[in-house]
Amino acid sequence: MFTRIYHKNLTFVCEKRIAGFIKKLAFIILFPFVMFIGISVNAVAQGSASSFPKAELSIKTGETLHDFQIELALDDSHREYGLMFRSELPEMNGMLFVYDEKRDISMWMRNTFISLDILFIDEGGKIMTIAESTQPRSLSLIRSGGEAKAVLELNGGLTKRLGIQVGDEIIYPIFENVSK
């Protein structure tokens, strides 16, 4: 017949080994998953920058033209994503959100990690409103203050440094003012 002998120290050692095994197993299972998620988010953020069409536009302030390299958000999926998850934006770069019809527009900074200047533009290319140095990750709505045709996002503080103001003109083909 089989006899069991219980000893409190032996029980403690077994429990400790089982706990150690469970921790190692959890690490082996969860570590690749956590790494995959981190790499995927970074790839989406980096990949999204390459998936937007690119163009150039100018902003006319008095007699000065400021030239920018821009990405275009022309459809709902691009407009929803915008500059989210970016950790930087080159100084003279931005994103132009173009809408089919002029309308009241609201933006927010959810999942946007950099401060932006947000310029609301009418159908003729005139800047209607500027929200300067917006707060990253904010859920507060930033409103156009009237019917806008497009929105231009630039690095936070850039409009002030370049002297860009309400009433200045965005030179770009959708505004039919490229010859100016």
pLDDT digits (tens, 9 = 90+) for 43-72: 444 445 558 999 999 999 999 999 999 999
Domain shared by 101 and 132, yes or no? yes
Structural domain includes residue 87: yes
Domain shared by 57 and 46, yes or no? no
Q: Whose structure tokens read 């904010």?
A: 138
What's the pLDDT score for residue 16? 65
Per the structure, the complete domain to which residue 168 belongs is given by 53-175
pLDDT grade for 2, boundaries at 50, 70 and 90: low
Domain shared by 147 and 128, yes or no? yes
pLDDT grade for 21, boundaries at 50, 70 and 90: confident
Structure tokens at 11: 């029980």
Domain shared by 161 and 115, yes or no? yes
Domain shared by 8 and 88, yes or no? no
Domain shared by 149 and 82, yes or no? yes
Q: Considering only CA atoms, which of 100, 87, 145 is closest in space to residue 118?
A: 145
Mean pLDDT of 74-94: 90
Structure tokens at 101: 């019809």
Q: Please, what is the Cα angle at 111 between 110 and 117, to 5 degrees?
A: 70
Structural domain includes residue 1: yes
Domain shared by 96 and 167, yes or no? yes
